[in-house]
Amino acid sequence: MEMLTIGVFAKACRLSPKALRLYDELDLLRPARVDPVTGYRYYAVGQLEQARLVAWLRRLGMPLAEIRTVCALEPAEAAREIRAYWARVEAETAVRRDLTAFLVDHLTAESRKDTTMLELRYSAHSDTGRVRPANQDTAYAGARLLAVADGYGPAGAPASSAAVEALKSLESAELPAGSVLNLLEDAVQGASRAVEDVAGGSGEVGTTLTALLWTGSRLALVHIGDSRAYLLRDGGLFRITHDHTVVQSMIDEGRLTPEEAAAHPQRALLLKSLGGEAPAAPDLKLQEARPGDRYLLCSDGLSGVVPDERIERLLSAAPAPDDAVRTLVDEANGAGGPDNVSCVVADVVEAQA
């Protein structure tokens, strides 16, 4: 077997001798032979490919423990793992990007003068549906706060209502320009505690929460779970939340197609929720508001049975928020109404003098 010294091997695979010694200690890349007298490490030519893979994975920023897993796999399986790793990085980055935008906006808000006064026209409706014995959803709309929560477990109804109740303090709170983010975070922590009180640490009870807080010129979004927020703007429907579900993360990682996910028996399994076993932080995002914007918050009782294209058509056609929530709830029930269904619709309009 042709042996290479550590120096020659290092050059060939673009890892430093220092890194190679570390990877030896970590059991990631063992030399083919160590001279028993001098302690010099020697590598086989056949190890170059694996060493190059390690070098590239390091450049991706993959942690060493994951590299060890990937290196032990067959190429096709390794490729899947690498794709899954990157999907996780992108999901984490997206959350940080939204938070960054939030902070940048917050820090520049003082220098910006809003010329038009805007306000919300809103409506909320929650319905048991056609199959479930009780309604565990909570929907709320007020001048400042819009919220949908979808409770689960034996105390799902009190859990969703406790979460929304805790946010209602925002309706009357002072909203000083500088502290919207902190105010929101405090309110969400209050909601989380309220849900935990209801759940009593059982881990079986919890709720989703998707809410928008109106600041006078922008909307701050809080989101955890699989309820959704959509924006209808210039005739197009945009989903502005990411489902915290197991199937959504499998779609992100390329392990499942959206069609397979829609029929997946565990499609309702949540990765994050309030009251869930692992404490989880909601996504926070700031939305710029424009006159003519129409927002929709809904529980999965709507999005699970009514396709986005249909939601877009009905939401566009409804003259006012009242009509929109009624039509959308009817549509979900018309499709069988297998789950509780909640809709909140709010229009951004110029304030009447």
Residues in contact with Mn ion by the rule CB under 5 A = 150, 299-301, 339
d(C-alpha 301, C-alpha 328), whole Å: 10
d(C-alpha 350, C-alpha 290), whole Å: 9
153/282 with CB nearer Mn ion: 153
157/240 with CB nearer Mn ion: 157
- Shortest Å, Cβ 161 to Mn ion: 14
3/268 with CB nearer Mn ion: 268
CB 129 within 8 A of CB 341: yes
Bridge pairing between strands 341-350 and 294-298 = antiparallel
- Shortest Å, Cβ 295 to Mn ion: 19
Q: What would the two tokens of residue 232 be?
A: 């209808």
d(C-alpha 138, C-alpha 135), whole Å: 8
- Shortest Å, Cβ 331 to Mn ion: 16
275/301 with CB nearer Mn ion: 301
- Shortest Å, Cβ 241 to Mn ion: 15
Q: What would the two tokens of residue 318 be?
A: 């409804």
- Shortest Å, Cβ 338 to Mn ion: 9
User: Cα Rg for the chain, rounded, in angstroms?
Assistant: 26
- Shortest Å, Cβ 340 to Mn ion: 6
153/301 with CB nearer Mn ion: 301
- For residue 344, CA distances in Å to 23, 149, 154, 326, 329 come to 55, 11, 25, 10, 10
d(C-alpha 341, C-alpha 326), whole Å: 11
- Shortest Å, Cβ 185 to Mn ion: 26
DSSP structural state of residue 111: G
d(C-alpha 13, C-alpha 49), whole Å: 8
257: CB partners within 8 A, 6+ apart: 251
- Scored b (16 or more CB within 10 A) or e, 324-341 reads bbbebbebbbebebebbb
293/339 with CB nearer Mn ion: 339
d(C-alpha 209, C-alpha 189), whole Å: 12
d(C-alpha 274, C-alpha 309), whole Å: 30
C-alpha 292 chain-centroid distance: 26
29/270 with CB nearer Mn ion: 270
- Shortest Å, Cβ 27 to Mn ion: 46
Q: What would the two tokens of residue 173 be?
A: 């709170």
DSSP structural state of residue 113: -
**Gap between the terminal Cα atoms of the chain:** 87
283/300 with CB nearer Mn ion: 300
206/301 with CB nearer Mn ion: 301
- Shortest Å, Cβ 151 to Mn ion: 9
d(C-alpha 195, C-alpha 280), whole Å: 13
